[in-house]
């Protein structure tokens, strides 16, 4: 079969280019091949391309975070926001993407515990003054006429009836509720995905490690996490104190996200993560390690109880299996990292970090007492 000639007649096959093959037009050749379309689609497609249609070159598209089966799993999960339209750019050298998060994790953890030590110093210093202020306030309330149904008084009464731990986590819960509401603002979706979800393939790596700890897209996810935090708040604050607990909680959120980064880079399963589960796992593991004989129960099955030690072992086993088997509904690496950090801290970290805060407190005490030294000229 030889090509004899070409004649341009408009646009399209039959209207674009008319091709003559052995004296037969493109339309006649296509009609002659119609009975063989089921058996020769490839040949028919070849003829149609020769009739004037050329395959457009495919444009190179940037890689997305939800690649392969991992992306499908993330789209199926109701715990994270939809990210089909969000494009991420994984580094060609994935190990390098962990350098900044590593330094951020170490630096933030040091700053968190250092700030907690200074906070405790200031709290102890002002406690005596607060005690006398409280006596004065009680005396004024006794001579001041009380109003019926005073809303502010009822709020104060409710607040004073809370334990130290419950008062401490109230601010954390309020922050989580605020971020949950921000997810409902359509104009903020891109900003929320960029800064309030952690992903080693994202351009922003460090700040989401902290901000995503306060971020929940699902109401059930947030409610479950905040219920567990509220339940363990009194125990963990009684063990560590208010200041040390806050440093542990914030550091745990960053550390668990860093472990999540490592797991995603190691497996190549990039995708966004969010939620306080990693930090709450640290709190849960710390309490279960210090009080292994405590009795726990599941909220929906209160009739079944088990020891805290057994619960911690089951959680670690489940998250380890999830990492090995590639379960994708939860971020098992973050859960496991948070749990291991909680166990390590109450076993060794308290002695290594918190017990060695005295040099920093002394420096702060000198600054507060004598003021900063003035540099100057000669006397």
Residues in the chain: 379
At 98 the three-state DSSP class reads: helix
307 is a domain residue? yes
Which pLDDT score is estimated for 372? 59
C-alpha to C-alpha distance for 113 and 35, rounded to whole angstroms: 79
> Would you state the pLDDT for residue 267?
86
Residue 78 in domain:
no
Non-local (6+) Cβ contacts of 332 within 8 A are 263, 318, 319, 320, 322, 323
84: tokens are 């089909």
DSSP alpha helix (H) spans, the chain: 26-32, 41-50, 68-76, 99-143, 151-161, 164-182, 189-195, 207-211, 219-240, 242-267, 277-290, 308-325, 332-344, 350-352, 358-370
Please tell me what DSSP assigns to residue 273: B
Residue 128 included in any domain: yes
Structure tokens at 260: 């999540």
**Cβ(81)–Cβ(199) below 8 Å:** no
The two tokens of residue 53 are 């249609």
Residue 309 lies in a domain: yes
**Structure token pair of residue 134:** 């409280």
**Which helix H or strand E contains 304, and what residues bound it?**
strand 301-307
Q: Would you state the pLDDT for residue 120?
A: 92
Residue 258 lies in a domain: yes
Residue pair 229/283 in contact (Cβ under 8 Å)? The answer is yes
Total domains in the chain come to: 1
**What residues are labeled active site?**
277, 335
Paired residues of 19 in beta bridges: 6
> Quick check: is 61 in a domain?
no
Does residue 157 belong to any structural domain of this protein? Answer: no
b/e 189-204 (16+ beta carbons within 10 angstroms → b): beebbbbbbbbbbbee
Nearest Cα neighbor of 110 from 353, 304, 371 is 353
Q: How far apart are the first and last CA of the chain?
A: 107
Strands 295-298 and 17-21: unpaired
Per-residue pLDDT of the chain (379 residues; tens, 9 = 90+): 444 444 343 444 444 444 444 555 545 545 554 444 444 444 444 434 444 444 455 544 444 443 333 344 444 455 666 654 444 555 566 788 899 999 999 999 999 999 999 999 998 888 767 766 666 555 555 555 555 557 777 888 888 888 889 999 999 999 999 999 999 999 999 999 999 999 998 889 999 999 999 999 999 999 999 999 999 999 999 999 999 999 999 999 999 999 999 999 988 888 889 999 999 999 999 999 999 998 887 777 777 888 999 999 999 999 999 888 878 778 899 999 999 999 999 999 999 999 999 999 999 989 988 865 555 444 4
Residue 167: CATH number of its domain: 1.20.1540.10
| 170 located within any domain | yes
Owning domain of residue 210: 95-134+163-370
Looking at the whole model, is its pTM more than 0.75?
A: no
């Amino acid at each position: 079969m030889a090509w004899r000639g070409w004649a341009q007649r408009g646009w399209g096959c039959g209207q674009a280019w008319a091709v003559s093959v052995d004296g037969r037009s493109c339309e006649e050749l296509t009609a002659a091949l119609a009975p063989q379309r089921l058996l020769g689609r490839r040949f028919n497609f070849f003829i149609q391309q020769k009739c004037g249609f050329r395959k457009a070159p495919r444009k190179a598209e940037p890689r997305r975070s939800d690649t392969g089966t991992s992306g499908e799993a993330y789209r199926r999960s109701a715990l994270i926001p939809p990210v089909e339209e969000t494009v991420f750019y994984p580094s060609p050298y994935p190990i390098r993407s962990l350098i900044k998060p590593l330094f951020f994790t170490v630096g933030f953890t040091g700053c968190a515990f250092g700030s907690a030590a200074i906070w405790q110093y200031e709290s102890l210093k002002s406690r005596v003054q607060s005690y006398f202020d409280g006596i004065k306030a009680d005396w004024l309330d006794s001579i001041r006429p009380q109003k019926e149904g005073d809303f502010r008084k009822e709020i104060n009464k409710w607040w004073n009836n809370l334990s130290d731990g419950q008062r401490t986590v109230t601010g954390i819960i309020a922050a989580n509720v605020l971020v949950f509401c921000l997810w409902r603002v359509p104009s903020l979706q891109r900003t929320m995905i960029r800064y309030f979800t952690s992903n080693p393939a994202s351009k922003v790596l460090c700040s989401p490690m902290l901000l995503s700890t306060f971020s929940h897209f699902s109401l059930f996810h947030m409610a479950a996490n905040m219920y567990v935090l509220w339940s363990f708040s009194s125990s963990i604050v009684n063990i560590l104190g208010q200041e040390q607990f806050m440093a542990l909680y914030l550091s745990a959120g960053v550390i668990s996200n860093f472990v999540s980064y490592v797991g995603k880079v190691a497996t190549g399963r990039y995708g966004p993560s969010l939620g306080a589960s990693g930090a709450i796992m640290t709190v849960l593991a710390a309490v279960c390690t210090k009080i292994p004989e405590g009795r726990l129960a599941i909220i929906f099955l209160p009739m079944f109880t088990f020891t805290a030690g057994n619960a911690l072992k089951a959680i670690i086993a489940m998250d380890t299996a999830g990492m090995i088997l590639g379960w994708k509904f939860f971020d098992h690496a973050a859960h496991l990292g948070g749990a291991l950090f909680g166990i390590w801290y109450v076993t060794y970290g308290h002695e290594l970090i918190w017990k060695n805060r005295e040099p920093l407190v002394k420096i702060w005490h000198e600054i507060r007492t004598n003021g900063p030294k003035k540099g100057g000229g000669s006397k």
